[in-house]
Amino acid sequence: MYKLLRNALFIAALLGFASCKNGSIFKRKPEKSDVTGWNYNDKNQGGYYVFKAKDVKTGPGLVFVQGGTFTMGAAQEDVMGDWNNTPRRVTVNSFFIDKTEVANVHYREYLHWLNNVFSDPQYEAVLRGAYPDTLVWRSELAYNEPYVEFYFRHPSYNYYPVVGVSWKQAYDFCVWRTDRVNENALIQEGYQNKNVIKQELNGGGQDNFNTKSYLMGEYDGIPSKPKKKGNALLDAQGRPRTKVDFTDGILFPDYRLPTEAEWEYAAYGYISENPQPRKSEKKRGEELIANKQIYAWKNDGYDNLRSTKQGAWQGAFLANFKRGNGDYMGTPGGLNDRAAIPAPVTSFFANGFGVYNMSGNVNEWVADVYRPLTNLEEDDLNPYRGNVFTKVDVSGGQGNMRDSLGRLKYIPENDSDIVNRVNYQHSYAINYLDGDSISNVTYGYGITTLINDKSRVIKGGSWMDMAYWLSPGSRRFMQEDQSSSTTGFRCAMSHFGPAEGTSSKLKNGNFFPKSRQKR
């Protein structure tokens, strides 16, 4: 009898705990505002819903890069005499970056979506402008026609880096990728009906999901009920809502091209230099970078270009590059990098952050506008040149803020509206202190220089480059509307939350035990 009574009490306790957890019997004490004393998440006290702080999830294809300080710029003698990469100390905040370069199969997925959504003849120019230029393979004195025909299209090259893509095309790919990832996130959480994809791909045109249009209320899609019961989003009156806001923590930040500083920092993979990278509050690594690397891996013997690990791979090249004039992959029977042209995106040696081909394979577009002396003027925290500060064009009124592609329309901020600001006074900051009226510097594009405000930085060296260009510190440029057979790209994403990582155990700042000061 005693055993039966004990079991009954135990079951009752479990049911009580479950009821308490679901909030149907016992209610947890509500969190209060530190500034007003009002309850959060209480419809009777304003209905201000505050979601538990959580880190940004790692988006598809990305790896986390823990930020920090490093010496940006030249890692070896400036044999080209460019004087465009003087070393200096900077810091970049933590961020995400693609594990690999964007491959042909990924870019074809993008074109598949465009061709189905914008199938109406009025969008012909949009589709034509998105295709990579396969003619970049042609040369007057080489037989490269097979690459013109097959490199982008043939399945044997599915996971080779896409080339022939301009900076503008890479930028548009990042916008498209953001929207598809966020659309899928809403579908998975149950806030958009899965049929919205079929609707789009059936010639939806302007009426396609765009993250910023969705957040501004310019696009609704097909709202649905959340899949997780008891975890619905609520409005001020405590009623479930189907519209997601960015503060709900469901949507991802934008995919974008990495800044030059982010790209260079990620390329070095310096976290591998740290003997004890922190994995919890109980352990922290040492603030130490022992050596200035030349390439995207540790300086570790030989000429730093070959594997030093004993075994079959000892002496094999760690990157895809041109060893010397006419030597792209070695000799038959003893091929070294085994790639006369670009190689698959996961080939060769991943660096300390687990990122592939930051040295060699293809050059990569970064976000920055090129200036030879930018590193002398930029901020030392998250340096970047290329800002044009914009705002949403609301002149058309609610419901008319999207362009023909379904994206929000933006216009530059009016300088007269920001003239009294302390931190910036002009919306157009691309040529700030180097090409503007303050600097008294002019760039006579096509006359005295090949540099203008459309010159974008490329980094990393390629399958056609000598080893010098494989150093992450080296930099070159192309016009943003140009492309080549040696240049591709990868995407990045901003990280919000603890700088050390994506673990909930880690925090921003140091939190010491509470103690009272002795009098």
Give residue-wise pLDDT tens across range 473-515: 999 999 999 999 999 999 999 998 888 876 656 667 776 777 6
Work out the percent of the chain whose per-residue pLDDT is above 90. 65
pTM of the model: 0.90
Lowest mean pLDDT among 232-241, 244-253, 382-391, 418-427: 232-241
For the cut 90, the answer to whether the pLDDT of residue 287 exceeds it is no
The pLDDT score that the predictor gives to residue 157 is 98
Domain assignment present for 517: no
Q: Does the pLDDT at position 179 exceed 90?
A: yes
**Tokens at residue 399, please?**
């419901």
pLDDT attached to residue 122: 96
pLDDT at 206: 96
At 516 the pLDDT is 66
Please give the tally of structural domains in the chain. 1
DSSP letters for 357-409 = -SSSSSEEEEEEEP-TTGGGTS-SBS-----B-EEE--TT-TT--B-TTSPBP
- Averaged confidence pLDDT in the chain: 88
CATH number at residue 83: 3.90.1580.10
Q: Which of 301-315, 393-407, 436-450 has the lowest mean pLDDT?
A: 301-315
Q: Report yes or no on 43 lying in a domain.
A: no
Average pLDDT on 230-257 reads 86
Confidence of residue 5 (pLDDT cuts 50, 70, 90): very low
Is residue 93 scored above 90 in pLDDT? yes
> Averaged over 459-486, what is the pLDDT?
96
Q: Does residue 189 form part of some domain?
A: yes
pLDDT of residue 273: 65
Q: What is the largest CA-CA distance in the chain?
A: 100
Task: Give the residue numbers spanning the domain of 231.
Answer: 50-494
What are 153-164's pLDDT values in tens digits?
999 999 999 999
Query: How does DSSP assign 26-44, residue by residue?
Result: S-PPPPB-TTT-PBSS-GG
Q: Which pLDDT value is given to residue 504?
A: 56
Instruction: Using CA atoms of 327, 332, 336, 340 in order, give the dihedral in degrees to the nearest 10.
Output: 50
pLDDT at 14: 42
pLDDT at 84 over 80: yes
Mean pLDDT, to the nearest integer, of 444-471? 96
In a domain, 196, yes or no: yes
pLDDT at 59: 93
Q: What is the pLDDT of residue 10?
A: 42
504 found inside a domain: no
What pLDDT was estimated at residue 214? 97
Does the pLDDT of residue 345 top 60, yes or no?
yes
pLDDT at position 233, please? 83
Residue type at 487?
A: T
Q: What is the pLDDT of residue 9?
A: 40
pLDDT tens-digit map of 130-150 = 999 999 999 999 999 999 999
Q: What is the chain's alpha carbon radius of gyration, rounded to the nearest angstrom?
A: 27
Of the candidates 111, 232, 243, the one whose C-alpha atom is nearest the C-alpha of residue 177 is 111
